[in-house]
Every structure is written in structure tokens, then in C-alpha cells.
């Protein structure tokens, strides 16, 4: 099938590439000329494991192309996918201007029957608005072309996006139109060999499914962070509690790791947007409010632990803190809403200096904070320790999993570690002569 994918961000580029990998002819369209030129020359704008070789191979094989000329691409496509960003508006609701701009572009160029599939995370009811925008453009041109709008939300995780896309848990197709459903099933048939993964439902349920999934996952995290805060106060170890409750299959071990708070481009934005949608419909979503509030506080946790060690914020003045990990999670260079940013801002406000290292996010860190006197961006974990008084482990990259604690004890002036991901065994760290602070571990 011929597929046009609008938007070459995480969702668009990964989805387009995976669809090409299974044999479809895909053109990724973006208004950003530099990005499209770069992609044509094999420059991948994001760090995502496994993506680059897949893009290069499919481009070379002629199944994957990149274009800024929407009109020509729309004219050829059977399926048109919208995968552009929906950043938060000032009030937290999702900004649909990019999605609707693509809809209008499609309406201006559509000349043969097609299915328009929306992959962007959009509030309930957006499929209707996309349909109306396309129809208005067609009417203005005075042409009648058959088209269907389908909600087809994406569930990929940054850092595991290619794998998630090639081996989806489920494929949600929101449409009441049997022909559109048939087209989407044909499109996804190669991903569907071992068992039926396509779940068909109405558009609105599909749109809400996406938000409900992210809100549920964010709730698990905030719940565990709340438990960690209770554990800390009552002298329990949340890591033991995690194992204890995860063993119940109804709860499960996945996604119940306490930490420095969730970040990224999805959970913070989607929880807020869903809360906003609920409010617009006259409902106060109290659980969502609490999930967000707990997370906002949790992002200050690492700073609080450091300040506690130093007898208050004032004790951090002039201190040098090594920060391991800047990305919002491992295997990505993305620092959007990352807990590291809260920690850095709080350390700087307290008059501390930072030496930071991240395996992939250094370019992004330079873009965000380059030129600051109180930040040294280092090229290895060891370099970040040089001259540091304390270590803050923010992102659980594999490179940070098994440090030599004796070496850390020698390197750190004040011999203190704040472990924002509960990676390290407290006894071992303390046996090496270091003070250890974790999340909800009573120390
Ligand atoms: C998330 C969802 O997991 C995907 O299913 C979804 O498709 C995606 O959003 C999206 O809407 O596009 P992502 O934001 O890439 O994916 O990252 P996650 O792996 O979900 O992690 C989110 C945050 O939660 C990270 O900051 C991570 O450190 C934190 N987290 C995760 C915890 O603190 N504890 C956990 O147990 C799990």
C-alpha cells in the first residue's frame, strides 16, 4: 500500500519506517525542509535505538522517502497518517493547530479515495474536527472525494520505539466505517501474524484509550512515589514493598518503580490534557489532579534529600554536585520535562555547581544550558566526579548500574550519593564509606 505520514517526529518517523520495513511504500512529509533534506541524506534527527539502520536500508530499497511537497504525496496515497505534535496549550489542553493544518493540507490536495488515520495524541472528538477540516477544503475546491477519518493512536515508548512499533501489544483502530477498518487491517496485517492484535472500536473510544493508557501508567508511578514517601516516614523500604506487591499478578512488576518523578513528552502533557478535557465536560478528575500534584512534588525529591544531608539548602552553597543522567529516561536524548531539569534548577538556585554527564543527552543539554558558569558538561561518568562533593544519580542508564563504590568514596569530597532510581544496594554503598539516600528506603 502507499502511505503518507505527516510529521517526522518520534511517532511519524518510527511508524513510517516500520511500515516501510514490512513492505509498504511510505513517504514521510514534513514542512521542515532541513529535516527532510537531512533525512534524505541519512541524517536521523532523533536518537532511537535501531532506527538509523532501518531508515537507511528502507530508503536505499526505495520503500521509504521524504518530501516537503504534500500535494504530490497526497495524490498517490491510500492511507494518510497524521503524526504531528500536540503540544500543551497555555491552559494544559492539547494544541490541535498542527493536526488541523495537516487536515487542511490533505483537503486541499485529495483527489482519490483515501483513509486518513490520526496517530497523534488528540482529545476526544478530534476525528470529527479533522473530518470537518478536510470536508471544508474539498467543498471550497468544489470537488467530491470519498475519505474516512480513523483514530489510530500510537503506543510506542521512546528508547524502545522501533521494537514497540514492530511488535505492538495492540493496534487500536477507531472507526465505524467497515471499509476504512478493512484498509487499516490490510495495512497492519504484517504485524498481526501470530495473533489478532487489531482492536476495533468507535473513534471516541479510541481517542480516549490513548489518554486512559498513559493516565493509568502515570497513576501507577505517582502511586508508587506516594508509597515511597510513606515508606520513608514509617521506616519501611519501598523496594521490598515493590517486590511484595508486584508478585500479585493483578498488580504486576511492570511500571511500579518509584523514582524522581515521571517526565518526557507524553505523561505530563497527556495527564494534564485529559484532566482538562474532563473539566470541559463538567467533571473534576480528582485522581488525575493528584497524579500530577504528586509528580510535581516528586521532582524535588532528590534536591530535598541533598539539602537534608547538608542540613538545609544553605549547606549546598558552593558545593559541586555530580549529576549522572540528564535524559528523562535511559535510551533517549530527550530532556523534555526531565526530573534532572528540576534538580539542576534547584541546585543552581541554592548556589551549588553541577558537573553532569549523560550518554546521549549532552547535545540537548548544551542547547538548553550551554554557557552557564555553574554547569560543566563532562564526557564521561568519571569526569563528572572530578572535584565533586556529592553524586546524584538521576537516570538509570546501564553505564551507571555498577560503579566502583570504593572509587566513588575516594572521588567525592563529602562522600554522599543520592540515588534517584534506587539502583544501588544501600548496605554496599554505606560499607564503602558513603552516605546513601534513596527514594523511600528509609535512608
Ligand atoms: C509513554 C508510554 O509508556 C507509551 O506507552 C506511550 O506510547 C508514550 O508515552 C506516548 O504517549 O507517546 P515514554 O514517555 O516514552 O512512553 O516513556 P516511559 O517509558 O513510559 O517513561 C515515562 C516516565 O515514567 C519516565 O520519566 C520514567 O522514568 C518514568 N517511570 C516509568 C517511572 O518513574 N517508574 C516506572 O516504573 C516507569
* pLDDT digits 0-9 by tens, 42-81: 999 998 999 999 999 999 999 999 999 999 999 999 999 9
Contact indicator for 123, 273 with CB cutoff of 8 Å: yes
What's the fold here for domain 211-296? Rossmann fold (3.40.50)
Question: At residue 443, does pLDDT exceed 80?
Answer: no
Decide whether any atom of ligand 1 lies within 6 Å of the 329 Cβ.
yes
Question: At residue 30, does pLDDT exceed 80?
Answer: yes
Q: Do 2-201 and 211-296 have matching folds?
A: yes
Give the rounded percent of residues in the chain with a pLDDT score beyond 90.
95
What is the pLDDT, as a whole number, of residue 60? Answer: 97
CA 185 – ligand 1 centroid, Å: 27
Decide whether any atom of ligand 1 lies within 6 Å of the 439 Cβ.
no
What is the pLDDT, as a whole number, of residue 330? Answer: 96
Report the distance separating Cα 36 and Cα 68, nearest Å: 7
Catalytic site positions: 266
User: Rounded mean pLDDT of the chain?
Assistant: 96
Decide whether any atom of ligand 1 lies within 6 Å of the 257 Cβ.
yes
| Class at the top of the CATH hierarchy for domain 2-201 | alpha beta
What's the fold here for domain 299-437? Rossmann fold (3.40.50)
Contact indicator for 11, 120 with CB cutoff of 8 Å: yes
Decide whether any atom of ligand 1 lies within 6 Å of the 217 Cβ.
yes
What is the pLDDT, as a whole number, of residue 193? Answer: 85
The annotated binding site is made up of 30, 35, 86, 121, 155-158, 210, 255-259, 263, 269, 329, 336
Q: How confident is the model at residue 88 (pLDDT cuts 50, 70, 90)?
A: confident
What is the pLDDT, as a whole number, of residue 89? Answer: 85
Every domain of the chain and the residues it spans? 2-201, 211-296, 299-437
Q: What is the mean pLDDT of residues 363-392?
A: 97
Decide whether any atom of ligand 1 lies within 6 Å of the 223 Cβ.
no
Decide whether any atom of ligand 1 lies within 6 Å of the 191 Cβ.
no
Atom 18 of ligand 1, residue of closest alpha carbon: 157
Which atom of ligand 1 is nearest the CA belonging to 221? 34
Which atom of ligand 1 is nearest the CA belonging to 213? 5
What is the pLDDT, as a whole number, of residue 326? Answer: 98
Atom 23 of ligand 1, residue of closest alpha carbon: 262
Atom 13 of ligand 1, residue of closest alpha carbon: 157
CA 350 – ligand 1 centroid, Å: 30
Q: What is the mean pLDDT of residues 424-429?
A: 97
Give the rounded percent of residues in the chain with a pLDDT score beyond 70.
100
Atom 31 of ligand 1, residue of closest alpha carbon: 255
pTM for this predicted structure? 0.94
What is the pLDDT, as a whole number, of residue 216? Answer: 98
CA 123 – ligand 1 centroid, Å: 19
**What are the pLDDT digits (tens) for 286-299?**
999 999 999 999 99
What is the pLDDT, as a whole number, of residue 413? Answer: 98
What is the pLDDT, as a whole number, of residue 442? Answer: 82
Q: What is the mean pLDDT of residues 356-380?
A: 96
**What are the pLDDT digits (tens) for 248-306?**
999 999 999 999 999 998 999 999 999 999 999 999 999 999 999 999 999 999 999 99
Answer left, alpha or beta for residue 241, where phi above 0 means left and psi between -120 and 50 means alpha. alpha
**What are the pLDDT digits (tens) for 91-147?**
888 899 999 999 999 999 999 999 999 999 999 999 999 999 999 999 999 999 999
Q: What angle do CA 190, 174, 262 make, to 5 degrees?
A: 85
Which atom of ligand 1 is nearest the CA belonging to 334? 15
Question: At residue 362, does pLDDT exceed 80?
Answer: yes
Q: How confident is the model at residue 24 (pLDDT cuts 50, 70, 90)?
A: very high
Amino acid at each position: 500500500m502507499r502511505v503518507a505520514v505527516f510529521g517526522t517526529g518520534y511517532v511519524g518517523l518510527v511508524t513510517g519506517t516500520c511500515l516501510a520495513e514490512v513492505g509498504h511504500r511510505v513517504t514521510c512529509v514534513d514542512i521542515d525542509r532541513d529535516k527532510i533534506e537531512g533525512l534524505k541524506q541519512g541524517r536521523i534527527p532523533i536518537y532511537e535505538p535501531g532506527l538509523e539502520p532501518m531508515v537507511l536500508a528502507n530508503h536505499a530499497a526505495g520503500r521509504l522517502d521524504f518530501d516537503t511537497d504534500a500535494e504530490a504525496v497526497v495524490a498517490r496515497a491510500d492511507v494518510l497518517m497524521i503524526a504531528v505534535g500536540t503540544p500543551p496549550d497555555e491552559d494544559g489542553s492539547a494544541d490541535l493547530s498542527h493536526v488541523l493544518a495537516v487536515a487542511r493540507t490533505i483537503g486541499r490536495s485529495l483527489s482519490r479515495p483515501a483513509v486518513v488515520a490520526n496517530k497523534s495524541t488528540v482529545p476526544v472528538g478530534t476525528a470529527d474536527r479533522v473530518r470537518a477540516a478536510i470536508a471544508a477544503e474539498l467543498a471550497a475546491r468544489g470537488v467530491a472525494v470519498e475519505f474516512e477519518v480513523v483514530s489510530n493512536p500510537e503506543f510506542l515508548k521512546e528508547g524502545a520505539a522501533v521494537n514497540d512499533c514492530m511488535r505492538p501489544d495492540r493496534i487500536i483502530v477507531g472507526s465505524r466505517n467497515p471499509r476504512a477498518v478493512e484498509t487499516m487491517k490490510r495495512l497492519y496485517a504484517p504485524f498481526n501474524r501470530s495473533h489478532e492484535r487489531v482492536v476495533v472500536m468507535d473513534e471516541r473510544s479510541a481517542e480516549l484509550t490513548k489518554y486512559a493508557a498513559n493516565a493509568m501508567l502515570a497513576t501507577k508511578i505517582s502511586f508508587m512515589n506516594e508509597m515511597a514517601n510513606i515508606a520513608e516516614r514509617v521506616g519501611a523500604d519501598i523496594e521490598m514493598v515493590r517486590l511484595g506487591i508486584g508478585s500479585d499478578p493483578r498488580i504486576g512488576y511492570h511500571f511500579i518503580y518509584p523514582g524522581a518523578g515521571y517526565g518526557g513528552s507524553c505523561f505530563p502533557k497527556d495527564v494534564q490534557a485529559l484532566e482538562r478535557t474532563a473539566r470541559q465536560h463538567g467533571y473534576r478528575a480528582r485522581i488525575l489532579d493528584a497524579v500530577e500534584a504528586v509528580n510535581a512534588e516528586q521532582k524535588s525529591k532528590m534536591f530535598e534529600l541533598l539539602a537534608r544531608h547538608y542540613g538545609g539548602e544553605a549547606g549546598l552553597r558552593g558545593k559541586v554536585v555530580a549529576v549522572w543522567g540528564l535524559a528523562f529516561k535511559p535510551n533517549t536524548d530527550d530532556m523534555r520535562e526531565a526530573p534532572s531539569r528540576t534538580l539542576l534548577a534547584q541546585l543552581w538556585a541554592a548556589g551549588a555547581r553541577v558537573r553532569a554527564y549523560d550518554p546521549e543527552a549532552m547535545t540537548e543539554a548544551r542547547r538548553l544550558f550551554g554557557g552557564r558558569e555553574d554547569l560543566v558538561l563532562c564526557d564521561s561518568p568519571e569526569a563528572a566526579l572530578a572535584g565533586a562533593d556529592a553524586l546524584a544519580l538521576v537516570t538509570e542508564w546501564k553505564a551507571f548500574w555498577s560503579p566502583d563504590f570504593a572509587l566513588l568514596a575516594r572521588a567525592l569530597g563529602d562522600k554522599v550519593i543520592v540515588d534517584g532510581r534506587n539502583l544501588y544496594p544501600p548496605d554496599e554503598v554505606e560499607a564503602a564509606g558513603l552516605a546513601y539516600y534513596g527514594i523511600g528506603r528509609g535512608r
